[in-house]
Amino acid sequence: MGDGRFLTTRWSVVLRAGKTDPQGQIQEQAREALERLAESYWFPLYAYVRRRGYDEEAARDLTQGFFVRLIERHDVSSASPERGRFRSFLLTALKNFLVNEEERERALKRGGGRSPVSFDAGEADRKMLEAVDGETPERTFERTWAQSVLERALERLRRDYDARQKKELFDALKDELGGGEGTPYAELAARLGFSEGAIKVAVHRMRSRYRGHLRQEVADTVAQAGDVEDELRRLFEALGA
């Protein structure tokens, strides 16, 4: 990925707009990029707030209130491109938001009742059950961030195969992405009407495309191309891989 192409990633767009807009207003392109990034990060942030001890309703309202302030007040302008990992910026900003939040009972009124990010708190709490006993809020954030990145990369991959009218192939092979013991290739070949050799090639290509989508998901959240490898390393560490 060359530098010219890298500058078009979402977080880079947001950071450049934040540093150059003389009116202090977030540019439309940057706003859209920020909203897309925020949508991707609601669950790790919600999980963090829940692990801090807030109940479901309070955590939902606080998370929504945080996103209202982030987007409407352009707080992202304080981010440093030299430390431009969106994950790190968000967690620091959320911690500050919680420390400074004094009127939690009025959380539903924040932002005039707007909900800039839509999410299913019930589903989030179901996932929260996967948390390790005694896990710190920071560890929960890191783990759920990593899981969310993998899920978004898989969704990109699914759309990729759907666009090429290969939904059946994707559904049959997606469980092979982990590299562990999956369905025997001979069984997959019989099911799809392929040769076993063709299945091996198809699995190899799917894994390669998945890695590409995973890298792109990570690249969208850092300011410099050199940060991608470090973020990938942190991602797999967070998963315990």
Question: How do the domains of the chain map onto residue ranges?
Answer: 3-238
* pLDDT score recorded for residue 100: 83
Identity of the amino acid at 188: L
* pLDDT score recorded for residue 200: 94
* pLDDT score recorded for residue 35: 79
Q: Which residues of the chain register pLDDT less than 50?
A: 1-7, 107-108, 112-113
| Residue pLDDT, tens place only, 21-33 | 555 555 777 777 7
State how far the alpha carbon of 95 is from the alpha carbons of 63, 107, 127, 195, in Å: 11, 16, 22, 54
Share of the chain above pLDDT 70, in %: 72
* pLDDT score recorded for residue 188: 94
* φ, ψ for residue 141, nearest 5 deg: -60, -50
* pLDDT score recorded for residue 6: 43
The answer to whether the CB of 157 falls within 8 A of the CB of 213 is yes
Q: What is the four-CA torsion angle of 79, 84, 90, 93, rounded to 10 degrees?
A: -30
